[in-house]
Amino acid sequence: MLAVFASLVEPIGRSLPPNSEVVLHDLSMLPNSIVAVHGDVTGRSVGDPATDLLLEHLMRGAEGHLVDYETKLPDGRRLRSSTMIIKDVAGTPAAALCINTDVSAWETVRRIAESMAGETTSAPGAEASTSDAPRVASPRYQGPKASTEAFVHDVDELAAILIERTIAEVGLPVELMRKEHKMRVVEQLRERGMFLLKDAVEMVATALSVTRFTIYNYLNEIAGQIPDSADRGAAGKPARRKDG
pLDDT tens per residue, range 128-143: 444 443 333 333 334 4
Per-residue pLDDT reduced to its tens digit, 3-55? 999 999 999 999 998 899 999 999 999 999 999 999 999 999 999 999 999 99
Asked if residue 121 belongs to a domain, the reply is: no
DSSP at 175: G
Asked if residue 119 belongs to a domain, the reply is: no
Asked if residue 113 belongs to a domain, the reply is: no
Q: What is the spatial distance between Cα 234 and Cα 190, in angstroms, rounded to a whole number?
A: 7
Burial 212-236 (b: 16+ CB within 10 A, else e): eebbbebbeebeeeeeeeeeeebbb
Q: What is the spatial distance between Cα 185 and Cα 187, in angstroms, rounded to a whole number?
A: 6
Asked if residue 32 belongs to a domain, the reply is: yes
Domain termination site, one of 91, 116, 148: 148
Please indicate, yes or no, whether residues 144 and 189 belong to a single structural domain of this protein.
no
Backbone angles phi, psi at 221, to 5 degrees: -65, -45
Please indicate, yes or no, whether residues 39 and 92 belong to a single structural domain of this protein.
yes
Work out how many domains the chain is built from and give that number: 2
Per-residue model confidence (pLDDT) at position 199: 94
Average pLDDT of 140-151?
Answer: 61
Q: What is the spatial distance between Cα 27 and Cα 69, in angstroms, rounded to a whole number?
A: 21
Complete DSSP assignment for 115-142: HHTT--PPPTTPPPPTTTSPP-PPP---
Please indicate, yes or no, whether residues 23 and 144 belong to a single structural domain of this protein.
yes
Q: How confident is the model at residue 225 (pLDDT cuts 50, 70, 90)?
A: confident
Query: What is the β-pairing status of strands 147-148 and 66-72?
Result: parallel
Please indicate, yes or no, whether residues 70 and 189 belong to a single structural domain of this protein.
no
> Can you give the residue range of the structural domain that contains 18?
2-105+139-148
Which amino acid does the sequence have at 114? E
CA distances from 132 to 37, 49, 122, 192, 202 (A): 44, 47, 13, 44, 58
Q: The domain spanning residue 78 has which CATH number?
A: 3.30.450.20
Please indicate, yes or no, whether residues 11 and 99 belong to a single structural domain of this protein.
yes
Looking at the DSSP bridge assignments, the partners of residue 102 are 79
Please indicate, yes or no, whether residues 184 and 143 belong to a single structural domain of this protein.
no
Per-residue pLDDT reduced to its tens digit, 158-194? 999 999 999 999 999 999 999 999 999 999 999 999 9
Per-residue pLDDT reduced to its tens digit, 83-110? 999 999 999 999 999 999 999 876 666 6
Please indicate, yes or no, whether residues 167 and 143 belong to a single structural domain of this protein.
no
How many percent of the chain have pLDDT more than 70? 75
Q: What is the spatial distance between Cα 208 and Cα 203, in angstroms, rounded to a whole number?
A: 9
Please indicate, yes or no, whether residues 143 and 48 belong to a single structural domain of this protein.
yes
Which amino acid does the sequence have at 111? R
Asked if residue 87 belongs to a domain, the reply is: yes
Which amino acid does the sequence have at 215? I
